[in-house]
Structure 1
Amino acid sequence: MDGPVKTGVLTFHRCINYGSYWQARCLLDGLASFGHDAVLLDHASARVDRVEWRCALRPVPGQSGDRAAYRAKTRRFFEAFQALPMSPAFPLDAPHAMERYDTVVVGSDEVWNLSHPWYGRVPLFYGAGLNARRKIAYAASIGHHDTQGGLDGNLSRHLRGFDAISVRDDASASLVGHALGTQIEVVLDPCLAFPPGPEAGNTTGSPYLALYGHGFSPAFAEAVRAWARRRGWPVVSIGYRNEWADRHWIEAGPHEFATFMANAGAVATGFFHGCVFALRHRRPFVCEGSWYRGTKLRCLMRQVGGERHLLGPTPTMHDVATLLDAPLPSHIETRIAALRRSSRRFLRDALHVPAVA
């Protein structure tokens, strides 16, 4: 590069969600590793804020209570947001007010989820109105959106304006590839491609099983509880209330979450980034899919060769013990290392960063 490249990252950077925070943070770190001093594009919308905060204060459908804990969690996220590099704010629905950038990187997260309840079909995430010389998509995802309907013509036209596109799962690659008539590369989520530094704190404390997610089936809950009781470990639920957990840490912020996952003895989750952080720290884990998250979990497990860790509909304690009593298989780390190299290569080439000899 002849000089500094003004780079913006367009993503869901103010969501009260551990995965959303860390994928944004890690993508900034990845860009920094290539010499780009990137900022998050601070799109603002009162409409989005209202629904985001309402969800943050009552994130589990049908569950009431814990409002003070969820409020404390939300405040910790606001504090973490303040430390991230941000562009001057501009209206989500009026992107012409944003500054000019040499490069904008769109992603990761479900930025192309047409069914997202408050960001779905916002043209900006498809490149419409981006004030940038170059547009790149890194690890974008359609999330749980049904691919049968395809992309409409306007969105496909916007995507054709990108200089380089990658996605983080097979379903997204199929939808976007079909719309554009080309093969789309699948890359790692930024939390695995550009993992954060060591988060571990005092690892000499008592072991615990980290529980991340909500809405688990009774069979999954009973199997995980039985395994933890046999081990003599407490089940500690982070970020959400699960009545079958031994302890709860609902108010944990994003940095506390990272430390918590790094120090866990094992992980049980139903969330994509629960699996990602277990993989990041080489922790034994089990996960349960759902209609909302099943697609991206299956894709991630196929990517890393961890299909066995996504349990079926009626798991037993034996199924859980088979996975949590043993370290992660070495082939998973080998697969992640190869994917990390190819993911970094995609972004380096897309940014036109010379390869180091």
Structure 2
Amino acid sequence: MLTFHRCINYGSYWQARCLVEGLRSRGHDAFLLDHVSSRINIAEWRCALRPTLPTPVSKSDSERYACKIRKFLAEFERLPLSAPFDIDHPERLAPMDAVVIGSDEVWNLQHPWYAGQAAFFGLGLPAERIVTYAASFGNYSCWEGIGSPWTDLLSRLDAIAVRDENSWWMLKNALGIEPETVLDPCLQFPPTSETAWSGPTKPFAVVYGHNFTPAFAHAGRRWADSRKLLLLSVGYRNDWADSQWIEAGPLEFAEAMRRCESVATNFFHGCVFALNNVKPFACEISPYRSIKVRGLMGLLGGEAHLVADGSSESVGALLSQPIADHLFERLQAVRDASDRYLSLSLETDA
């Protein structure tokens, strides 16, 4: 697998882990290609120390974000990894039967440090088959289009599956193909591991994300007060929450999502983990992640869970109401299609 497995981001960690463990459960000798770059590492760590910009980060919070980084680095080393290799020289890898590119926004040509990294388009990978699973262009809109060399590289791939409608239209417009749309690995192969709990002992709801609008924050705060629930902000500071668990590691994040009552988020994987744990959720649409969350909710018929800027009236109801059955019915249908894609792309010569 070739993906963003060393990002200081809960979703990136879990999508990498879930896919590699899912492929192993299917009988494959799967591992993550451990690409390295000092340039990328420095950019990643700088962002992780100040993730809420333009909202400033205090010195005390910086220390807590540093603690979070150390927890991620420890978990990275427990993943099944290849020998490290220079991301600019994938041709130096040992030959492989297949490489799976994705999940995550591996094709985002606007990503601040991964943009245009040719290995994620298949260049130089020494494998008999190169396929993608749940690859995405992230917030790079299909209206922008792509040309050479990206179209040339993508056309050489043996099988392509994307994560969202935006990526589907990008490839439809650029290559004339209609790729399979598959589930994020965290939904396809939900994490099952549990860890020791050091969070609240009282009932709580999770706040996951940052830079929410004042209207959304006010609505979430009012709802929690009416329910006498603690608001636990995981991974980032949100002053409208009761408790800030900035330093939570990736396992602690997953455990918080498993134990909480509801999820207030503006992140893609906030929606994903709410669905996995059958938790009511409200997702505010943010400019950077609008393509991701709209794509996921459109795929599953969950558009009602999205809250647009300035439209906070539905927040309390969404955080209280069980998720509608039709989302899980659709989720299973896409899961079945994703399973068929993996079989065709990896387990046969199709």
Give the alignment's TM-score, normalised by structure 1.
0.94
Q: Distance in 2 between matches of 1:325 and 1:279?
A: 14
Partner in structure 2 of residue 286 of structure 1: 282
Matched, 1:176 2:171: yes
Counterpart amino acid of residue 40 in structure 2: V
Compare 268-277 and 173-182 and name the one that shifted more. 173-182
Match of 2:30 among 38, 42, 45: 38
Q: Distance in 1 between matches of 2:332 and 2:27?
A: 22
1:180-329 equivalences under 5 Å are 180-199=175-194, 205-316=201-312, 318-329=313-324
* 1:309-331 CA distance string (max 9 Å, x none): 00122234x51222222211111
Counterpart amino acid of residue 195 in structure 1: P
Instruction: Please give the secondary structure, in 1, of the residue aligned with 2:57.
Output: coil
Instruction: Please give the secondary structure, in 2, of the residue aligned with 1:38.
Output: coil
Q: Distance in 1 between matches of 2:302 and 2:35?
A: 36
Counterpart amino acid of residue 109 in structure 2: L
Does the CA contact (< 8 Å) of 2:264 and 2:319 recur in 1?
Answer: no
Matched, 1:120 2:115: yes
Does the CA contact (< 8 Å) of 1:210 and 1:261 recur in 2?
Answer: yes
Give the C-alpha shift of residue 290 in structure 1: 1.2
Q: Distance in 1 between matches of 2:104 and 2:194?
A: 22
Match of 1:146 among 141, 146, 153: 141
Aligned length: 345
Does the CA contact (< 8 Å) of 1:73 and 1:252 recur in 2?
Answer: yes
After superposition, the CA RMSD in angstroms is 1.6
Instruction: Please give the secondary structure, in 1, of the residue aligned with 2:43.
Output: helix
Does the CA contact (< 8 Å) of 1:214 and 1:241 recur in 2?
Answer: yes
Match of 2:52 among 35, 44, 60: 60
Instruction: Please give the secondary structure, in 2, of the residue aligned with 1:30.
Output: helix
Q: Distance in 1 between matches of 2:200 and 2:270?
A: 22
Structure 2 unaligned regions, length at least 5: none
Instruction: Please give the secondary structure, in 2, of the residue aligned with 1:221.
Output: helix
Compare 43-52 and 90-99 and name the one that shifted more. 90-99
Does the CA contact (< 8 Å) of 1:34 and 1:353 recur in 2?
Answer: no
Give the C-alpha shift of residue 162 in structure 1: 0.9
Q: Distance in 2 between matches of 1:146 and 1:345?
A: 28
Partner in structure 1 of residue 156 of structure 2: 161
Q: Distance in 1 between matches of 2:320 and 2:289?
A: 25
Does the CA contact (< 8 Å) of 2:195 and 2:251 recur in 1?
Answer: no
Counterpart amino acid of residue 217 in structure 1: T
Q: Distance in 2 between matches of 1:225 and 1:103?
A: 48
Instruction: Please give the secondary structure, in 2, of the residue aligned with 1:173.
Output: helix
Q: Distance in 1 between matches of 2:348 and 2:71?
A: 36
* 1:256-312 CA distance string (max 9 Å, x none): 100001111000000000000000111000000111000111111111111110012
Give the C-alpha shift of residue 146 in structure 1: 2.3
Q: Distance in 2 between matches of 1:256 and 1:95?
A: 33
Structure 1 unaligned regions, length at least 5: 1-8
Q: Distance in 1 between matches of 2:203 and 2:326?
A: 26
Shift of the 199–304 alpha-carbon distance from structure 1 to 2, 3 Å rule, reads farther
Compare 31-40 and 251-260 and name the one that shifted more. 31-40
Partner in structure 2 of residue 10 of structure 1: 2
Instruction: Please give the secondary structure, in 2, of the residue aligned with 1:139.
Output: coil
Give the C-alpha shift of residue 352 in structure 1: 2.0
Instruction: Please give the secondary structure, in 1, of the residue aligned with 2:314.
Output: helix
Instruction: Please give the secondary structure, in 2, of the residue aligned with 1:148.
Output: coil
Match of 2:74 among 67, 76, 79: 79
Give the alignment's TM-score, normalised by structure 2.
0.95
Q: Distance in 2 between matches of 1:107 and 1:80?
A: 19
